[in-house]
A and B are shown apart, each in its own frame.
Chain A
């Protein structure tokens, strides 16, 4: 297979190899090992239990919801669910890590190998391997910029459940990495296991990046930490790949290290080298028993899985006759897919798809709105398409009706009624209007008769002008052709 993602360097083509580690905050009311609240936006240290603050003698108790969510996520990426998994302690000191260790999963994670199908802009799809998903506690937040001499610590996030979703080093370009993150986020949102909100930090990404000449062994990798948007992830990878190529081409070697992405400057910067890496002294947490899952527990969760993007896309193409491109666009987000399906109920699906992807998206983009904020409800858009299909209004008039719906939130039938936009489909009425137009355009009639069929547009324009656009365009065309040929 030729790799169209190769980067041209001075010494030839380079291949980028990328593996991503995504930390996804699990949707759950309580933290992983304590009953404390997890909602975003509370005052600092408002959501902290005795366990989260690691008071003496406090013990963690696993939150069953977190286990369910991890299993649900595993099933969503067709991964192996491990019936036996273990929580380990990852030991290191930091002020926002109250226990002095993070409870995580090291050698026995809850989810094993799975895969995600990524969809590229050019219509290509390919499979990216998932190595594992494990559960772990989030740390608190250190705030360094409130005071010149001290650091403040907010433990609200301390103990919140994260899933670390680790990919195989299967990605070959920044674009593929972005497509992977987009697809993963969509799946998590479909599953309801993570809200995927990268700006609020509920989904964070570390990227392992290395470069090599095609066919060579894997190069030395650098890990880029805590990238907080898909766009930044792509930027960071692109920058890092070119940096590594430059280093090697100038005769240097890549040192294994952890780097931070500076979003303002668009560069990555060394944070610590391999020599400075922690020895985390992982060992099984003696406060917690291993997690044993029954087959019934797993099957019960499987039975409640929603239809996921890949299956949905297939159904849209096979059963609703949508193009692959339209289907991709519509399934990319669960909310959009749900909107579309509700709108398309009992209507012509392809027409509805066109309205959603062009007019509705156009409006939402212009107004910077999410689909959940759309002033036009799914049922209303469906009704609008219904009015076109049954000939009540023309497609052109429908655009005006849609604009009015966006502005007022009214039902399309009401708009049509109030504005008197109902299409003129009365043959007698249209014939007399057509007659008037022919009478006015003797010269155009001549042109038509001498073979310029395009001139028919002039007559249509006249009729539309006379009917304020409400004439049924198909009927106007038919009548015109008939009369002009007489």
Chain B
């Protein structure tokens, strides 16, 4: 029997169904893997007892012939999702020790589908970061290493713990959240599939908010099929989230295996961003060829406002964050620092509770919303956002999907970009435009850099067309034949 931690979700489902192994066995295998890999710091909270109880309950359900879509599958949850009775920290000192009395809608659906929860994964504090170095609980180590040195690398962020855990076989899959690239960028850095659905597909209820108009939950898996399977159990209209969509949810797996003959794939030259690794541009060209070989037609599309996406994002997201994080005031829950006056309690609590990056974004957001600057920054950024969305809409009048790199570079070393704020923010340059437009995007591992690190390609489709996204991603995955694994130098 293959190593139980190497299975895909689809394989594990088949094995469980046939009785090759029990949920308890596959869960125990993952609990052991997590213990062995603690150096990665992928988890903020491990929940082995909960996982075993979940697994035993699942095995009983299976014996009774009553199983859900995720029954018995060991999965990790990004610590941005509130989980009932389990500490939920957003990787912030502010919420260290916070145990919510409620379960987020997305994880509720997954619990109903029978998942086994292994624990809560590390992330950049309040999901603000692209390297998982801003976590109060310390950085996550990417299970991949360069051929050329042994330096610990970042897993990307903000869903860095989830990406590292999936790549290192510590869980079959994990949830992530993506605001400007927080699923797709770490997926690329860790050589896994990271998918952000259309804004509104997943309920945001019970997910600690970063930027409300951008935040979306999504699956982080090792295959495209697994991505479709997990997404199916995460989505759906939620009356508790006004921005969640009532659009019908298709069967995402149904399109897998279909060909892409005659599909038009848009190639936007604006994504040849200055400073992008030539290896990545070469991989992009390779990707175009794979899709053409599969019968699709590559079409040049123009998205000229792409260059304004990142600046607009770094106005809108911090603006919303500055307001969303105002509730962490030391009054009702979470950290509270003493002070001689009300103002001092606020100042001390928030100075102590928030890390440097979170404080920086709150300050930026507060600034751009201030009287006298609001029109120049926030309103202008919203106009840019509208133009970017319009540009995508007109591109999708002629093409079915857009192919771009997922990131401008491979994973970098811990500390390498700590003093280079703009360089750090540039990590999201490929992923942010689709976020601003609310479009679905997926990062598929497509090759290795010359230094042995995984690189991803990104597909984007029009809103609520996850079917085409998965259909093309499936072909891309097959063509790339990405089988490399972390820890095996090539």
B331 engages A55 (CB within 8 Å): no
Residues of A within 8 A of B378 (CB): 283
A93 engages B326 (CB within 8 Å): yes
Tell me, yes or no, whether B450 is within 8 Å of chain A by CB: no
B95 engages A56 (CB within 8 Å): yes
Which residues of A80-120 are within 8 A (CB) of B? 89, 91, 93, 95, 98-101
Alpha-carbon distance A101/B212, docked complex (angstroms): 15
Residues of A within 8 A of B326 (CB): 91, 93, 99-101
Residues of B within 8 A of A91 (CB): 322-323, 326, 369
Most interface-central of A56, A281, A282 (chain B CB within 10 A): A56
A60 engages B331 (CB within 8 Å): no
Tell me, yes or no, whether A413 is within 8 Å of chain B by CB: no
Indicate whether A56 sits within 8 Å of B329 (C-beta atoms), given known contacts A283-B374, A286-B211.
no
Query: Which residue on chain A has the smallest CB distance to residue B95?
Result: A56
* Selected contact of A281 from candidates B104, B346, B366, CB within 8 Å: B366
Which residues of B238-261 are within 8 A (CB) of A? 239-243
* Selected contact of B102 from candidates A55, A286, A287, CB within 8 Å: A55
Tell me, yes or no, whether A301 is within 8 Å of chain B by CB: no
Tell me, yes or no, whether A153 is within 8 Å of chain B by CB: yes
Tell me, yes or no, whether A53 is within 8 Å of chain B by CB: yes
Residues of B within 8 A of A55 (CB): 82, 100, 102, 333
Tell me, yes or no, whether A50 is within 8 Å of chain B by CB: yes
A61 engages B206 (CB within 8 Å): no
Alpha-carbon distance A101/B321, docked complex (angstroms): 12
Which residues of B355-409 are within 8 A (CB) of A? 366, 369-371, 374, 378
Tell me, yes or no, whether A58 is within 8 Å of chain B by CB: yes
Indicate whether A62 sits within 8 Å of B323 (C-beta atoms), given known contacts A57-B82, A57-B207, A287-B212.
no
Tell me, yes or no, whether A329 is within 8 Å of chain B by CB: no
* Selected contact of B323 from candidates A60, A61, A100, CB within 8 Å: A100
Residues of A within 8 A of B213 (CB): 286
Tell me, yes or no, whether B64 is within 8 Å of chain A by CB: no
Query: Which residue on chain B has the smallest CB distance to residue A279?
Result: B371
Residues of A within 8 A of B100 (CB): 55-57
Query: Which residue on chain A has the smallest CB distance to residue B239?
Result: A61
Alpha-carbon distance A59/B332, docked complex (angstroms): 17
Provide the A283-326 mask, 1 if CB < 8 A to any CB of B, else 0. 10011110000000000000000000000000000000000000
Alpha-carbon distance A339/B420, docked complex (angstroms): 77
Tell me, yes or no, whether A54 is within 8 Å of chain B by CB: yes
Residues of B within 8 A of A286 (CB): 211-213, 243, 320
Indicate whether A101 sits within 8 Å of B323 (C-beta atoms), given known contacts A56-B88, A286-B212, A287-B243.
yes
Alpha-carbon distance A143/B342, docked complex (angstroms): 14
Residues of B within 8 A of A57 (CB): 81-82, 100, 104, 204-209
Query: Which residue on chain A has the smallest CB distance to residue B212?
Result: A286
Indicate whether A289 sits within 8 Å of B374 (C-beta atoms), given known contacts A93-B329, A98-B332, A100-B329.
no
Which residues of B15-44 are within 8 A (CB) of A? none
Looking at the assembled complex, report how far the CB atom of A333 sits from the nearest CB atom of chain B, in whole angstroms.
38
Alpha-carbon distance A59/B215, docked complex (angstroms): 13
Looking at the assembled complex, report how far the CB atom of B384 sits from the nearest CB atom of chain A, in whole angstroms.
16
Residues of B within 8 A of A279 (CB): 370-371
Give the interface size bracket for A toward B: 20 to 34
Alpha-carbon distance A101/B370, docked complex (angstroms): 14
Tell me, yes or no, whether B314 is within 8 Å of chain A by CB: no
Looking at the assembled complex, report how far the CB atom of B24 sits from the nearest CB atom of chain A, in whole angstroms.
31
Which residues of B98-134 are within 8 A (CB) of A? 98, 100-102, 104
Residues of B within 8 A of A100 (CB): 323, 325-327, 329
Residues of A within 8 A of B320 (CB): 286
Alpha-carbon distance A100/B327, docked complex (angstroms): 5
Provide the B69-104 mask, 1 if CB < 8 A to any CB of A, else 0. 000000000000110000010100001001011101
Alpha-carbon distance A58/B209, docked complex (angstroms): 8
Tell me, yes or no, whether B319 is within 8 Å of chain A by CB: yes
Provide the A37-63 mask, 1 if CB < 8 A to any CB of B, else 0. 000000000000010011111111110
* Selected contact of A95 from candidates B207, B319, B342, CB within 8 Å: B342
Looking at the assembled complex, report how far the CB atom of B78 sits from the nearest CB atom of chain A, in whole angstroms.
12
Alpha-carbon distance A53/B208, docked complex (angstroms): 14
B323 engages A56 (CB within 8 Å): no
Indicate whether A281 sits within 8 Å of B323 (C-beta atoms), given known contacts A55-B102, A57-B104, A58-B205.
yes
Alpha-carbon distance A279/B374, docked complex (angstroms): 11
Alpha-carbon distance A95/B345, docked complex (angstroms): 11
Indicate whether A50 sits within 8 Å of B102 (C-beta atoms), given known contacts A56-B90, A57-B205.
yes
Residues of A within 8 A of B204 (CB): 57, 59
B331 engages A98 (CB within 8 Å): yes
Residues of A within 8 A of B327 (CB): 54, 56, 98-100
Alpha-carbon distance A57/B239, docked complex (angstroms): 15
Indicate whether A53 sits within 8 Å of B332 (C-beta atoms), given known contacts A95-B342, A281-B370, A283-B323.
yes
Looking at the assembled complex, report how far the CB atom of A212 sits from the nearest CB atom of chain B, in whole angstroms.
28
Alpha-carbon distance A153/B319, docked complex (angstroms): 28
Which residues of A267-283 are within 8 A (CB) of B? 279, 281-283
Alpha-carbon distance A57/B202, docked complex (angstroms): 13
Residues of A within 8 A of B81 (CB): 57
Residues of A within 8 A of B209 (CB): 56-57, 287
Alpha-carbon distance A281/B326, docked complex (angstroms): 12
Residues of A within 8 A of B205 (CB): 57-59
A56 engages B366 (CB within 8 Å): no
Alpha-carbon distance A288/B88, docked complex (angstroms): 25
Residues of B within 8 A of A61 (CB): 239-242
Most interface-central of A91, A99, A153, A281 (chain B CB within 10 A): A281
B102 engages A60 (CB within 8 Å): no
A283 engages B369 (CB within 8 Å): yes
Alpha-carbon distance A132/B213, docked complex (angstroms): 28
Alpha-carbon distance A180/B242, docked complex (angstroms): 38
Residues of B within 8 A of A56 (CB): 82, 88, 90, 95, 98, 100, 208-209, 327
Residues of A within 8 A of B370 (CB): 279, 281
Query: Which residue on chain A has the smallest CB distance to residue B379?
Result: A283
A95 engages B102 (CB within 8 Å): no
Residues of B within 8 A of A99 (CB): 326-327
Alpha-carbon distance A50/B88, docked complex (angstroms): 16
Residues of A within 8 A of B102 (CB): 50, 55
Which residues of A144-169 are within 8 A (CB) of B? 153
Residues of B within 8 A of A101 (CB): 323, 326
Residues of B within 8 A of A93 (CB): 326, 329, 346
Residues of B within 8 A of A289 (CB): 242-243
Most interface-central of A279, A283, A287, A289 (chain B CB within 10 A): A283
Looking at the assembled complex, report how far the CB atom of B110 sits from the nearest CB atom of chain A, in whole angstroms.
16
Alpha-carbon distance A100/B333, docked complex (angstroms): 14
Indicate whether A288 sits within 8 Å of B207 (C-beta atoms), given known contacts A54-B327, A55-B100.
no
Alpha-carbon distance A279/B243, docked complex (angstroms): 28
Query: Which residue on chain A has the smallest CB distance to residue B331?
Result: A95
Query: Which residue on chain B has the smallest CB distance to residue A151?
Result: B342
Alpha-carbon distance A279/B372, docked complex (angstroms): 10
Alpha-carbon distance A91/B370, docked complex (angstroms): 10
Which residues of B186-237 are within 8 A (CB) of A? 204-209, 211-213
Alpha-carbon distance A54/B243, docked complex (angstroms): 18
Alpha-carbon distance A53/B100, docked complex (angstroms): 12
Q: A: which residues have CB within 8 A of B?
A: 50, 53-62, 89, 91, 93, 95, 98-101, 153, 279, 281-283, 286-289
17 A–B contacts from the bound complex (CB under 8 Å): A50-B101, A56-B209, A57-B82, A57-B104, A57-B204, A57-B205, A61-B241, A61-B242, A62-B242, A95-B342, A98-B332, A282-B374, A283-B319, A283-B323, A286-B212, A286-B243, A287-B209
The 10 closest A-B pairs by CB, nearest first: A100-B326, A286-B212, A281-B369, A286-B213, A54-B327, A57-B206, A56-B208, A279-B371, A57-B82, A287-B212
Can you add 17 more A-B contacts, CB < 8 Å, to A100-B325, A100-B327?
Answer: A50-B102, A53-B332, A55-B82, A56-B88, A57-B100, A57-B104, A57-B207, A61-B239, A91-B369, A99-B327, A100-B323, A100-B329, A281-B323, A281-B369, A281-B370, A282-B369, A288-B242
